[in-house]
Amino acid sequence: MKKIQILGTGCPKCRALTENAEAAAKEAGIEYEIEKVTGINEIMKFGVMVTPALAINGEVKVAGKVASPDDIKVMLYQ
C-alpha cells in the first residue's frame, strides 16, 4: 500500500493536488491511503518550504506546484 501525503494548509492548489493524486492512484489500480498534512510544523519536518507538496511513503516527490495525475502516476511507481 502506498501512503500519499499532501502537504499544505488546505488552499485551492492543495485541494487540486489531492484530487490529482487520488485520480492517479485510482488509474494506477493500486492500494493507497491519502493523508493531509496541514500543520506548519509537520510540513517543515519534511523539509518543505513551499506548498503544496506531495510525499509518497514519506519521501517528498514534488513541492510548490500541482503535479498532474500522469506525473503522479509515474512517481507512484518510482
Annotated catalytic residue 36: no
Annotated catalytic residue 31: no
Output the 3-class SS for 6-18.
Answer: EECCCCHHHHHHH
The SS3 of residue 36 is: strand
Identified catalytic residue from 4, 6, 7, 14? 14
Identified catalytic residue from 11, 34, 40, 50? 11
Q: Which residues are catalytic?
A: 11, 14
